[in-house]
Amino acid sequence: MASVQLGARFTLKNILYLTDFSEPSEAALPFVTAIAREYGSKVYAYHVLIPAAYTYTTPDLAVASLAAQEEAAQIELERVGSHLTGLSHECVVERGTGVWSSLENTIKDYGIDLIVLGTHGRTGAQKLLLGSVAEEVFRRSHVPVLTIGPLAHGGPHKSAKFRRVLFASDFSEASMAAAPYALSMAQENQARLILLHVMKEPEPTIANQAREHAMSNAASQLREIVPASAQHWCHPEAVVETGNPAERILQVARDREADLIVLGLRDATGRIGAATHLERNTAHKVVVHATCPVLTVRG
């Protein structure tokens, strides 16, 4: 496996902060400001105004309701803007029928390099704006997405100082697309890089020697990801585990005190939810339960 090529400084000229003014969105704001200061980025505080169902009852009510909703959103964005004082920023309210349909063109128009959002971590029928929508964004976005889950608070990562970066890979092309970002973030922060591969539980009939051989080969593949020139500063650690990918990623992140997890995702063709780590909901589970931010990169 070819190692990742070290490139220029990770460029974050334009950051899009997606907010619905909820508590999870508020929790993501400190990360936005810290990263923007670190990288000299411009921040676009972005809210998609989706008309409520009652808006369409009568024409007069529709006009009045939309105006009231937009005014309320502008007031909320002004409050968000007050937290961005001293940073280059712009507050944008976009009317739309859905978040992603509005966001897709905005990413291109503003030259967005990173999307940051918060999620409440609800699942099933309780997934709301930054639950299922957060998943759709990081599945479909061609730019990296930093998702702040409900447990990602406090610690050194809150000041955007990522000292331990965990990169989880299944060696697929999609997951390896995230490797340059993991290495770049580690390089930028002079962080320790933890490389993780999760294997399926071996069949009971497989001998211990064969199992150990497979794990040793996987560890070698992980070490090959990091070029020799980066070995001295990122101090890479190769970790091979067996079991459920999401559970093992989370456990290793806790054990190694990772303050950033980096995952590669398959291209969003067909249904939403096909993560590189085998199970459909792996990425969502990691985001929901991680005690640190999760950077997802679509391969």
Q: Is the pLDDT of residue 234 over 50?
A: yes
169 within a domain of the structure (yes/no) = yes
For residue 227, pLDDT over 70 is answered with yes
Of 150, 175, 196, which residue sits at a domain end?
Answer: 150
Examine the fold and report which residue of 102, 118, 150 is the final residue of a domain before the chain moves on.
Answer: 150
**pLDDT over threshold 50, residue 8:** no
Cβ(34)–Cβ(156) below 8 Å: no
Mean pLDDT confidence for 67-93: 90
pLDDT at position 126: 37
> Pick the residue with more confidence: 120 or 98?
98
Q: Looking at residues 143-158, what average pLDDT do you find?
A: 77
Does a structural domain hold residue 39? yes
Give the domain CATH number at 92: 3.40.50.620
The verdict on 30 and 144 lying in the same domain is yes
Q: Write the pLDDT tens digit of every residue in 54-63.
A: 455 556 566 6
Question: Using CA of residue 133, residue 138, residue 141, residue 143, what is the dihedral sign?
Answer: positive
Per-residue pLDDT for 99 more than 60? yes
**Do 170 and 142 have their domain in common?**
no
Strands of the 260-265 sheet, one edge to the other? 89-95, 42-49, 14-18, 114-118, 145-148, 294-298, 260-265, 164-168, 192-199, 237-242
Residue 287: inside a domain, yes or no?
yes
Which amino acid is present at 159? S
Which residue matches tokens 């303050």?
A: 259
Note the pLDDT tens digit of each residue in 112-149: 999 999 887 654 433 333 456 787 888 889 999 999 98
Indicate if 135 and 173 belong to the same structural domain. Answer: no
Q: Give me the number of domains the chain comprises.
A: 2
**Is the confidence at residue 100, as pLDDT, over 70?**
yes
The domain containing residue 164 runs over which residues? 155-299
Together in a domain, 85 and 121: yes
State the pLDDT confidence band at 274, using cuts at 50, 70 and 90. very low
Mean per-residue pLDDT, 222-227: 89
Residue 1 placed within a domain: no
72 and 172 co-located in one domain: no
Clarify whether residues 168 and 115 are in a common domain.
no
Question: 64 with 162, same domain?
Answer: no
What's residue 276's pLDDT?
42
Q: Is residue 5 part of a domain?
A: no
Each residue of 166-194: pLDDT tens digit? 999 999 888 888 998 898 888 878 889 99
In a shared domain, residues 41 and 143: yes
Chosen domain end from 117, 150, 183:
150
pLDDT of residue 197 exceeding 90, the answer is yes
